A and B are shown apart, each in its own frame.
Chain A
Amino acid sequence: MVCIFMIDEQFVQVKNLRKVYDNGHEALKDVSFSVKKGDLVCLLGPSGCGKTTMLNMLAGLLDPTSGDILFNGKSVVKVAPKDRQIGYVFQNYALYPHMTVLQNVMFPLTVGKNKRSKAEAEKVAKKYMEITQITELANQKPGNLSGGQQQRVAIARALVQEPQILLMDEPLSNLDARLRLKIREEIRSLVKRVGITTLFVTHDQEEALSIGDKIILFNNGVIQQDDVGQNFYLEPNNYFVANFVGNPVIDNFAVKIADGKISGSDFEIPLAALDQDRIKGELTPGEYTLSVRPENILPSEQGHFTAKISDVELIGRERILKFDHDGIQARSLVNLETTIQRGDQVQLSMRLDRIFLFTKEGTRVY
């Protein structure tokens, strides 16, 4: 009973997956994760991190070197792409330019073993065109459509075979910034309405944070963190995650731990002042990186150190105060109303229950 429940819960399971390309490049190193039925999961990471390799292996376009992929409890590693019950949306959509929108959407139903009668195919296609709101574009050619419309056609085409899993490879990267915001919300509401399990590859953290039920962050072929969005921000697993996620980027200060205190070049924090519940590893004496998000290091009467503001940048309803610390630029995120100007000497105070400490290897200890 419990077992059946588990299978249903973890709809996609990836176990110890490894991929080494013919040229010896190890794109994925022992990757394991699972996805719940109906979830929208973002595979996030910088380019070359292995996220697209991961997606292509789920699709069956690439064979894993070792490890297993299970859909609904069954291994699909030896199953051909066409029998995996997946829908795939390419980065450039790959709509057939010589077919109308309706013909494009119908295409998966008019080829191969799943071929249906024309009337039936048209009926199913029209149903999904209604869901994706492209019914009125039925007789247009893709060349006449806007990027957003093409996107919807591609999704409708990916859905007509009623797959179990929808795979999307950077589907928003061809759209302009404003449209991207709109379409990503549309995609989320659409896949939620259809109830399909979706894996969405992106390199844009904002996109991932805004639409993913959870995010799997890759780097160098290794999962850095597999978590809900806010945890990437509040509880990063390691130095890479802390620096990859967040805009403006996190501030990093080189520090030493010795004699029961953390010492920076011009500040000292007693270890006793830290939130003891947040300590994750042993704070043995040595060199560390203290990282703090710009909104958690703010001007105050009694700061940890004094800095000269080198620049003030306005970003909408906030301002970024930039300052140099040990020759590295750091940032403090303040209210729009601040009167601090370039050249001012400001005392800066860090929220100690919000700072992170990383070892030289990048492991988080606080």
Chain B
Amino acid sequence: MKKNQTKAWLFLAPTVILSTLFLIWPILRAFVMSFQSGSLINLSWTGFSNYKYIFSDPEFWSSMSHTILYAVVTVPIGLAISVMLAWMIFSKVKHKSFWETTFFMPYVTSTIAIGIVFRYIFNGDYGILNFVLKFFHLPTANWLDDPSMSMITVIIFGIWTSLAFNIVILMGALRNIDPNFYTIAEMYGASSNEKFWRITMPQLVPTLAFLLTMDVISAFKVYTSIYALFNGQAGVGNSASVAVFYIYNKFQMVGTPGVAMAATVILFLLILLTTFLQRKLMKKIGEN
């Protein structure tokens, strides 16, 4: 028994060592650093002063509120559109695999590259988006250079980028639904709306729970798309600054790693709490 255990630990050692080094240690280090101040090579204990600082920093609050706004708007809308598109491809469109591949393309393309393309699309003067809006006599906007539009632009881009992964996962889930479920429903005269709401949606709940968790986590960590859209900035006048931007800024630009780590810990706790609440919620929905 004892011998077996030693062996087991030996076999586990590579994983344990690597995950401790690269997963657990950074988290602990960040947590410790959030109570320290000074530069990276010269840290000293300061207690809660970093937390006090960020809580009184309006920039922190605006970054956090931008992050939450982004998550709260992007994730549900992105999921809803994904479900709609996946259901359409699944139930109405021929050449499913072609469309599935097409929709998955953005996922394997670099966000930076897509972001650069979107800068052209969103451009206020010569962008395609404004051109199309004008064509249909709809009001246009200065998507990139108007501070009040920054978050909207980021959200639209976020929704677009979230579709690829969602749709592919949802298509897989739709394929797993027993086709006899629909045959039976049809035999009893169920309409396509009834089929969707009574059979498809409940069957998708576990997948939606998974996607919701994944999407919310990645929404809280949004950075690259903003970086790409605004050419490395957080929008005009920090109008699209989010949590990760704040952290990066405090760490790299301002040189206060303690403050950055305090913000990291807060973001970490926020993600943890949201995920936990979601799981509870989805469990409840799944039971009904």
Chain A interfacial positions (CB closer than 8 Å to B): 59-61, 81-83, 86, 88, 90, 92, 94, 96-99, 107-108, 110-114, 157, 161
Contacts and interface: CB of A to CB of B under 8 A. Distances in A.
B188 to A, nearest CB: 4
Nearest to A83: B189
Contact of B194 (A94, A97, A111): A111
B181 A96 contact: yes
Contacts of A161: 188
Contacts of B202: 96, 98-99
Contact of A112 (B178, B181, B191, B199): B191
Given A98-B203, A107-B198, A92 B191 contact: no
Given A96-B199, A98-B202, A111 B180 contact: no
Contact of A94 (B181, B190, B198, B205): B181
Interface of B: 178, 180-181, 183-191, 194, 198-199, 202-203, 205
A90 B181 CA distance: 10
24 contacts: A59-B187, A60-B187, A61-B187, A82-B189, A83-B189, A86-B187, A88-B184, A88-B187, A90-B183, A90-B184, A92-B178, A94-B178, A94-B183, A96-B198, A97-B203, A98-B202, A107-B185, A108-B188, A111-B189, A111-B198, A112-B189, A112-B191, A112-B194, A114-B189
A188 B270 CA distance: 60
Nearest to B189: A112
Contacts of B178: 92, 94
Contacts of B189: 82-83, 111-114
A161 B180 CA distance: 18
A113 to B, nearest CB: 5
B186 A82 contact: yes
A88 B181 CA distance: 12
Contacts of B191: 111-112
Contacts of A98: 202-203, 205
A61 B180 CA distance: 11
B188 A61 contact: no
B125 to A, nearest CB: 52
Nearest to A84: B187
Contacts of A82: 186-189
A307 B183 CA distance: 56
Contacts of B180: 90, 92, 94
B142 to A, nearest CB: 47
Nearest to A81: B187
A92 B178 CA distance: 10
B188 A112 contact: yes
A83 B203 CA distance: 27
A110 B188 CA distance: 9
A90 B182 CA distance: 12
A99 B287 CA distance: 9
A59 B183 CA distance: 11
Given A61-B187, A88-B184, 17 more contacts: A61-B183, A81-B186, A83-B189, A88-B183, A88-B187, A90-B180, A90-B183, A90-B184, A92-B178, A107-B185, A108-B188, A110-B198, A111-B188, A111-B190, A111-B194, A114-B188, A114-B189
A97 B200 CA distance: 12
Most central of B183, B184, B191, B205 by chain A CB within 10 Å: B184
A111 B181 CA distance: 13
Nearest to B187: A81
A20 to B, nearest CB: 22
A158 to B, nearest CB: 9
Contacts of B181: 94, 96
Contacts of A110: 198
Contact of B184 (A60, A83, A94, A114): A94
Most central of B188, B190, B191, B199 by chain A CB within 10 Å: B188
B204 to A, nearest CB: 10
A203 to B, nearest CB: 19
Nearest to A114: B189
A6 B210 CA distance: 60
A107 B202 CA distance: 14
A107 B188 contact: yes
